[in-house]
Structure 1
Amino acid sequence: MAKRKNVVSTIKLQVAGGQATPAPPVGPVLGQHGVNIGEFVQRFNAETSGRQGLIIPVVISVYSDRSFDFILKSPPAAVLIKKALGMDKAANTPGHETVGIITAEQVQEIVEMKAEDLNAASPEAAARIIEGTARSMGVALEGAMMEGAMMEGEVVEDSGEVVEDSGEVVEDSGEVVEDSGEVVEDSGEVVEDSGEVVEDSGEVVEDSSEGEEH
């Protein structure tokens, strides 16, 4: 029965797949723990040759005899999202700017790649984790963008109806002006009645003249 090795330290690094070198941060960190740097670089690059340039988390267990083993983890969700969308970097002000749109299919592909490392009770919960990471980067979900556009369209239509109601109020105001015109016409009739009174006064004068002749 092989004797179980005693782990004296655990090192966590993120290294580009197939591109590990003795340069910082790999070399100095491993050197502090007495790990054979050249051996790690060779083994890591061999195991990650199919993921060239992709950032890969690695957990290194260092034993008391300075030998080591390591476990490769899936790339961070943010790295996979940027790769899927061809992005160089995330938004500077997430929530105020959108730098990309991710589809449900792309989210599912990332979930499958990170299935072993995601602490999720179901595929749906895992998808929500990836979607949350995307939003924090300024990446919108395709379905959410469509729903937002539809809601904005409904608001514009409602606003148009309000404008039409305002036009009806203007028409009512015009009717009031017409009523005012009728009042002016009534005033003219009063003037005509006043003229008739003057004519009656003339007739009275004529009657007075006839009395003097008798």
Structure 2
Amino acid sequence: MARAKKQTHQITLHLEAGNAAMTDLGKMLGQTGVNLVEVKRSYDRATADQRGDVVPVVVTVADDRSFELRLKTPPTSHLIRKALGGKGSDRPGHSSAGRLSAAQLRAVAQRKLPDLNTTDLAVAMRIVAGTARSMGVTVADQ
């Protein structure tokens, strides 16, 4: 009779797509006893087409030291910085870090839609616009 696997750890990591750092994996997953090299290979293989992005992953480790990866979309702030080609403001609300066009806002919202708690693109755009404003980015009228 086969024994059911029991989940022992669930850890969320923010790693560089296609090139996960072994030091980050070791710090966070070392105590689980999982094969770190195999986790790195699986993650790098799954995110190879998203190089240059930070792709969060939820690593679920079972009691037999097997693991499962669940990829998420890159953080909203990362996508906004990528769309602007720079970074956020040093003083949000006082100085602007750039302007996010309606097309850029829509593109970021569409990319983030699977991880947001809505299925409506207009609501997703408002969520992304709020993040952009908190970064000191001016948002074009939608």
* Bigger mean CA deviation after superposition, 60-69 or 106-115: 106-115
Contact 1:5 1:63 in 2 (8 A): yes
Whole-Å separation in 1 of the counterparts to 2:52 and 2:13: 15
Contact 2:15 2:21 in 1 (8 A): no
Partner deviation per Cα, 1:79-98 (whole Å, 9 max, x = no partner):
000001101x2111101000
| Alpha-carbon spacing, 1:95–1:3, altered in 2? closer, same or farther (3 Å) | same
* Bigger mean CA deviation after superposition, 76-85 or 120-129: 120-129
Matched, 1:92 2:90: yes
Q: Which amino acid aligns with 2:71?
A: L
Q: Which amino acid aligns with 1:143?
A: D
| Number of aligned positions between the proteins | 142
Partner deviation per Cα, 1:117-170 (whole Å, 9 max, x = no partner):
0112522111100000000111101238xxxxxxxxxxxxxxxxxxxxxxxxxx
- Bigger share in helix: 1
Unaligned 5+ residue runs, structure 2?
Answer: none
Which structure 2 residues correspond to residues 178-193 of structure 1 after superposition, within 5 A? none
- 2:112 paired residue among 111, 114, 119: 114
**Equivalent position of 1:10 in the other structure:** 10
Identical aligned residues as a percent: 40
Q: Considering only aligned residues, what root-mean-square deviation do their CA atoms show, in Å?
A: 1.7
- Bigger share in strand: 2
Contact 2:89 2:95 in 1 (8 A): yes
Matched, 1:71 2:70: yes
Whole-Å separation in 2 of the counterparts to 1:2 and 1:73: 31
Q: Which amino acid aligns with 1:132?
A: G
TM-score with structure 1 setting the length: 0.63
